[in-house]
Amino acid sequence: MAIDMQPKSRRVLFRTRVGLGIVLIFAIIATACSKRPNVVLVTLDTTRADHVSALGYERMTTPHLERIASEGVSFTRAYSAASWTLPSHASIFTSLLPSEHGCGLGPNADSPIVPLRADVLTLAEVLEAEGYRTAGFIGGPYLDSEFGVARGFEIYDDDFSGSKRDGREVNEKIFDWLDSRPEEPLFLFVNYFDAHGPFCPDPTIEYPFGPQPNPDGSSYDSFSPGNAQRTGQHLPSTPDEIAAILTRYDQEIFAADHWLGELVAHLEGMECWDSSFVVVTADHGESFGERIGKTALWGHGYWPFASQCHVPLVFRPPGGMKEHRFEGPVSNADVFLTLLLHLGIPPPHGIQGRNLMDSQLLDGPMEATTAIAEETSARGRGIAVWSQKYQYLQIAEGEPARTRELLFDLRASASDGRHARARAIEKKSAMSESLKATGQAVLDRLRARRESMMRARTGFIPPMTSPQSAGLTGLPPDVRKRLEALGYLR
């Protein structure tokens, strides 16, 4: 059955006679003065899908996202293209995988970051060329303009002190810009960084679960999973410890959703909400002790595991639509192409992906879709392929490169009921052969695609360069300090 893609907004029918015929002209009443829809893209940093109540999590973490999802399409099996902030956002902004847009970790402390390639076109650049007023407001240091992701934004607010800023401060900057009444159509990008460690839930927000955060702080209010593992701090091990950490994490997700709700209310007050195409997703998730063999995973930014790449993804077209859910695996790197096709903007040559609002996709078999993520850095490369039931992961690291292959049964659940946990299956088992072949085919296809793109567009995607020669040297002291505070640099 085809889904209802028609807006909920009131329709007016005009009839005019032309000769002997009657021409019916349908016009959708817009609530804003712009003929082309505004675009609002929100990323909830470090938000894993199985902690989002809009996707079925038992705690009420995202009531405002639930409202948005009730008027749009939710993708319950969306995956980010990478497991940490910078390359994942670069993929959302370009439609390309990390090895194609070149953005990621550098080889050493002197060149810690490989910025987005200067010859890769971004979503903001395309929309700016189409007459959009573009503005971005971020909450974390890994989206600093130094890294190339600000290209195409007329306004890009990355000026703040400390390792991160909460959604309250982000919204203050957004509302100042919106209240200046920039000419529509608008492209507004928002990054709410609240759920990224360290976990310090805002004590002024009333949370519907867990103890109210202590304004004076507690042993877990400053806990950051990835930072703790990198620096050798105590990691939670008992059920009570893990439950306390997860409560703090869920409260931070609730806080980000709270600020999202304030943004929606402000746009409604400006009569711009119903004329906006809204996308809400996350750049990556977070691991909380999931085990891969004998290794316990904490934080993110290692290899593309499901706990670090399974993210929420919700589209709400202008005026809303009948609620729909798609449960097949998809990539949020397809946001770029989906937006352009919906806006009637011809995609530039080389843009990858598929239209996630295509009714043939949404009504088609979920088993026919796959999603891909990868990590590329000086330490090696990992590529993940998700099907409906399994994840195939290939990791090549070390000198000389040592290749490992893992298969995860995504239907397995954690015995303690805390959250879904993938179960590793030996690569030699008969069960793995089909997906292993699929994974190898994906690798071959990616390699051929990259070579074809380079031949077709000399200069747009240049040949792969070694991270050792592409790192960004001389990070500004304030940026380096923020990254060090979050545990990324030492």
> Is 2's pLDDT higher than 70?
no
* % of the chain exceeding 70 in pLDDT: 71
Residue 446's pLDDT band (cuts 50, 70, 90): low
The CA–CA distances, whole Å, from 364 to 325, 333, 359, 368, 391 equal 12, 20, 8, 8, 21
Q: Which of 117-131, 199-213, 227-241, 446-460 has the lowest mean pLDDT?
A: 446-460
Mean pLDDT of the chain: 78
Q: Which of 19-33, 242-256, 346-360 has the lowest mean pLDDT?
A: 19-33
> In this structure, are residues 151 and 121 in contact, taking their beta carbons and an 8 Å threshold?
no
Q: Which of 3.20.20.60, 3.40.50.2000, 1.10.357.10, 3.40.720.10 is the CATH number of 37-372+462-485?
A: 3.40.720.10
Residue 440's pLDDT band (cuts 50, 70, 90): low
How many CB atoms within 10 Å of residue 13? 8
Average pLDDT (258-272) is 97
The bridge status of strand 186-192 relative to strand 38-44 is parallel
> In this structure, are residues 339 and 322 in contact, taking their beta carbons and an 8 Å threshold?
no
Q: How many angstroms separate the CA atoms of 385 and 81, rounded?
A: 10
Q: Give the per-residue pLDDT at 377.
A: 66
For the record, the structure tokens of 350 come out as 């080389």
Terminal CA-to-CA distance of the chain, rounded, Å? 54
Q: How many angstroms separate the CA atoms of 352 and 347, rounded?
A: 9
Q: Give the per-residue pLDDT at 7.
A: 41
Q: Give the per-residue pLDDT at 26.
A: 24
> What are the pLDDT digits (tens) for 72-85?
999 999 999 999 99
State the amino acid at position 290 in one-letter form. Answer: E
Average pLDDT (414-441) is 49
State the amino acid at position 171 in one-letter form. Answer: N
> Is 424's pLDDT higher than 70?
no
> Is 437's pLDDT higher than 90?
no
Residue 429's pLDDT band (cuts 50, 70, 90): very low
> What are the pLDDT digits (tens) for 229-252?
666 667 777 888 888 889 999 999
The SS3 of residue 433 is helix
CA angle, 369 then 373 then 377, to 5°: 165
Sorted by where each begins, the domain ranges of the chain are 37-372+462-485
Q: Give the per-residue pLDDT at 289.
A: 81
Q: Give the per-residue pLDDT at 4.
A: 46
Residue 254's pLDDT band (cuts 50, 70, 90): very high
Out of 27-36, 167-176, 291-300, 381-390, give the one with best mean pLDDT.
Answer: 167-176
Q: Give the per-residue pLDDT at 9.
A: 36
Q: Is the torsion defined by CA of 149, 78, 460, 337 positive or negative?
A: negative
Q: Give the per-residue pLDDT at 453.
A: 42
> Is 166's pLDDT higher than 50?
yes
Average pLDDT (458-482) is 43
DSSP result, 1-69? -----S-SS-EEEEEEEETTEEEEEEEEPPSSS-SSPEEEEEEETT--GGG-GGGT-SS---HHHHHHH
> Is 87's pLDDT higher than 60?
yes
* % of the chain exceeding 90 in pLDDT: 43
Residue 310 pairs with which residues in a beta bridge? Answer: 79
Q: Give the per-residue pLDDT at 308.
A: 92
> Is 342's pLDDT higher than 70?
yes
Q: Give the per-residue pLDDT at 283.
A: 97
> Residue 431 has what DSSP assignment?
G
Out of 106-115, 122-131, 363-372, give the one with best mean pLDDT.
Answer: 122-131
> What are the pLDDT digits (tens) for 57-75?
999 999 999 999 999 999 9
Q: How many angstroms separate the CA atoms of 24 and 287, rounded?
A: 55
Q: How many angstroms separate the CA atoms of 251 and 248, rounded?
A: 5
Q: Give the per-residue pLDDT at 38.
A: 97
pTM strictly above 0.95 = no
> In this structure, are residues 48 and 250 in contact, taking their beta carbons and an 8 Å threshold?
no
Report which of residues 253 and 481 the model is more confident about: 253
Report which of residues 426 and 115 the model is more confident about: 115
The SS3 of residue 391 is strand
Q: Kind and range of the H or E element at 130?
A: none
